[in-house]
Amino acid sequence: MGISATATVIWTRQGAPFLDLKYSRSHQWMFDGGIVVPASSSPQIVPIPMSAEHAVDPEEALIASLSSCHMLWFLSIAATRGFLVNQYRDKAIGSMGTDQRGRRFMERVVLRPVIQWEGDAPSEAEVEEMHQQAHHECFIANSVRTEVLIDAAAGSID
């Protein structure tokens, strides 16, 4: 058996109307380390107040998962190659699309990492190679049909 991960998702109606479809989409994600994350549908898809503006939506979570997995692999690869990373920041962007059956899906995610190095920094070619290796190793990228691109030249993050 391989590595497993768990997440518990909890939504409660709390006595509010339901059949009118105007119920709150606010819910919680609970993870094995004890962290609880407020979650909701995206306000871009289900309007406020039925969505919680200050909660993570599934689309954001997918983008963050792809970015986080890529970063963790990249850091490991950089350390193995002897390059010291002081900071890695990525303001990843996901784009929704419609497939040939008319269903909406996360069509593309662009990772835009900005890395601060200490000491001898790798060449642009070495950085590109490390990103390609990280992408190849990333469990999440290997699990989705979404096109995942790395645009390390995207510039600074706001």
Structural domain boundaries of the chain? 1-55, 58-150
Burial 92-109 (b: 16+ CB within 10 A, else e): bebeeeeeeeeeeebeeb
pLDDT score recorded for residue 155: 59
Q: What residue ranges of the chain have pLDDT lower than 70?
A: 1, 154-158
Q: ∠ CA 30-60-158 to the nearest 5 degrees?
A: 120
Mean pLDDT of the chain: 93
CATH 3.50.50.60 fits 58-150, yes or no: no
